[in-house]
Amino acid sequence: MLKEKVDQLLNDAFQERPDLFLVSCDIGAGNEIKVVIDGDESVKVADCIFVSRAVEHNLDREEIDFSLEVTSAGVGKPLVHKRQYLKNVGRDLEVIDTDKEKQVGKLIAADDEGVTITWQTREPKAIGKGKETVDKQWSVEYKKIKQAKVVITFN
């Protein structure tokens, strides 16, 4: 009952704010509600407050005791929603597929089916000695992605 009510309240909040979307909603022991949100742009504290109020102000503490935590999807956390890939086009991703192939590259495309990343590598020359820099590209469907994370670099 609580899960359905919270899901409906979240759905209403995201209809009011279509730039935000749900990453996860878990209800643990003791009715501990943990909501993780993301947005097409960055998520601000005010966005978390908006979602928190949309849920908390519509649940009756006299009827059911609960705790509520609303957070944004953290940096370095796995991407789980197609919209998260779209907002990260142009950034470096580490992708591991279901065959355990792992690659780090720049996310250059994301659509309804999957993603494409590119990277450069050094490979032996086809003729002669030495190595040359080669551009590589990998397209992978969402259903084949086991895990994908944005790679944070400090320059």
Q: Where are the domains of the chain?
A: 2-72, 82-150
Domain range 2-72, CATH class: alpha beta
User: DSSP 3-state assignment of 67?
Assistant: strand
Single pTM value for the model: 0.82
pLDDT tens digits, one per residue of 16-34: 999 999 999 999 989 999 9
The architecture CATH gives domain 82-150:
Roll (2.30)
Q: Write out the DSSP string of 82-139.
A: HHHHHHTTTSEEEEEETT--EEEEEEEEE-SSEEEEEEEEEEE-SSSSSEEEEEEEEE
Question: Residue 111 and residue 114: Cα distance in Å, rounded?
Answer: 6
Q: What is the pLDDT of residues 79-104, one digit of tens each?
A: 999 999 999 999 999 999 999 999 99
